[in-house]
């Protein structure tokens, strides 16, 4: 049987560190207020006056993942890039990454599932490999939030949460029969409920508006900035992520105690603490990065995987559980034998 496995990981974040204290110069907030609600101490931002794009961050993470995997860029047969912060409205950001990486001709696919994007992308890449279509796929999650947030008191409840960054993995085909230590993607489980789409979204620009995608009135109202019903998101995330983890375990005949490391999406440390509490997971089994990087949306899980590998927390043979929840609403989980 053919399966896919993660051959290597990589990440890249901008050098500029933005602390909670730095944000007090832009909006009415405080380090205590931010940490109490989110657990975030700092995040990385690109230079707001630069022309740095999401695909630029994705390129650096991709190069590091390829190096880690020992794979040449010419061996990659498909690119899957997960992002909500596209370089341009069209074409897809994966095409810009493909051009910068210098691998013309192969398919380049964007996945726009926001915070759940990486797991959706992992499922897509896994299926292409399992079905024998490709042997090596580059999967990337990358975001630049700093250029697209309301950096005033009006937008602080969203703006303090997000950072910029990219994470990537290289997936490769592996043939064999799974046993307790056979490295592969065991399964992914994807869900969505669009009835909550407007609880976390950007209203404009968009073709839902009359005549033009954006108007002076929409700009004046700040409708081109993200809006979030934080309470609703917290409640649903705290419920759906544990459900998704248990679903993945049940599908593979495994128990919570079989998991060596949990790498959850990094939206809010309080959400992850609630998820761990509900599942009865000991703190030492949960790997968090949100304190340093904030919420990098589609990049949080691949950044977490790479940091866990480099910290020695994620080693060959370990069973890793991932789960995410985000805009859409979407939620998902994956089990990975490293």
- Which residue in the block uniquely carries the two structure tokens 């990981």? 9
Residue 81: partners with Cβ closer than 8 Å, 6 or more residues away: 55, 58, 92, 93, 94, 97, 108, 109, 110, 111, 121, 140, 141, 142
Rounded to 10 degrees, the C-alpha dihedral 158/16/39/302 comes to 90
Q: Which of 12, 145, 184, 265 is catalytic?
A: 265
Q: Which of the 8 DSSP states describes residue 47?
A: -
End-to-end CA distance of the chain: give it in Å, rounded. 18
Q: How far apart are alpha carbons 204 and 314 in whole angstroms?
A: 41
Which residue, chain included where needed, has tokens 């398919």? 107
Tokens (6 digits) for 315: 């080693």
State yes or no: is 88 an active-site residue: no
Contact 300, 289 (CB under 8 A): yes
To the query of whether residue 224 is one of the catalytic residues in this protein, the response is no
* Catalytic choice (12, 20, 82, 115): 115
Based on the residue annotation, tell me whether 295 is a catalytic residue of this protein.
yes
* Rounded alpha-carbon distances, angstroms, from residue 230 to 36, 71, 197, 269, 276: 14, 41, 13, 14, 19
Tokens matching residue 279:
């599942």
Catalytic residues: 115, 265, 295
């Amino acid at each position: 049987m053919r399966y896919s496995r993660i051959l290597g990981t990589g990440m890249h974040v901008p050098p500029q560190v933005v602390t909670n204290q730095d944000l007090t110069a832009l909006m009415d907030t405080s380090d205590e207020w931010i940490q109490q609600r989110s657990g975030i101490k700092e995040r990385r931002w690109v230079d707001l006056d630069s022309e740095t794009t999401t695909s630029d961050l994705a390129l650096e993470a991709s190069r590091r993942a390829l190096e880690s995997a020992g794979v040449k860029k010419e061996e990659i047969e498909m690119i899957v890039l997960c992002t909500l912060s596209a370089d341009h409205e069209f074409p897809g950001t994966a095409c810009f990454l493909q051009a910068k990486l210098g691998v013309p001709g192969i398919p380049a696919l964007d996945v726009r599932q926001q915070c759940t994007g990486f797991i959706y992308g992992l499922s897509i890449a896994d299926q292409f490999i399992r079905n024998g279509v490709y042997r090596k796929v580059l999967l990337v999650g990358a975001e630049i939030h700093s250029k697209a947030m309301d950096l005033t008191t009006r937008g602080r409840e969203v703006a303090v949460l997000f950072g910029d960054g990219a994470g990537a993995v290289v997936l490769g085909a592996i043939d064999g029969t799974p046993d307790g230590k056979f490295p592969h993607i065991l399964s992914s489980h994807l869900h969505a409920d669009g009835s909550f789409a407007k609880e976390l979204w950007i209203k404009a620009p968009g073709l839902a508006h009359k005549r033009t995608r954006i108007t002076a009135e929409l700009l004046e109202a700040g409708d081109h900035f993200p809006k979030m019903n934080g309470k609703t998101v917290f409640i649903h995330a705290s419920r759906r992520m544990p459900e998704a983890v248990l679903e993945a375990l049940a599908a593979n005949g495994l128990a919570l105690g079989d998991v060596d490391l949990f790498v959850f999406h990094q939206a809010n440390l309080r959400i992850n603490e609630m998820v761990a509490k509900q599942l009865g997971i000991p703190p030492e089994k949960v790997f968090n990065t949100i304190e340093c990087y904030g919420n990098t949306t589609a990049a949080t899980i691949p950044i977490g995987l790479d940091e866990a590998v480099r910290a020695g927390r994620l080693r060959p043979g370990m069973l890793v559980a991932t789960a995410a929840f985000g805009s859409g609403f979407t939620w998902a989980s994956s089990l990975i034998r490293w």
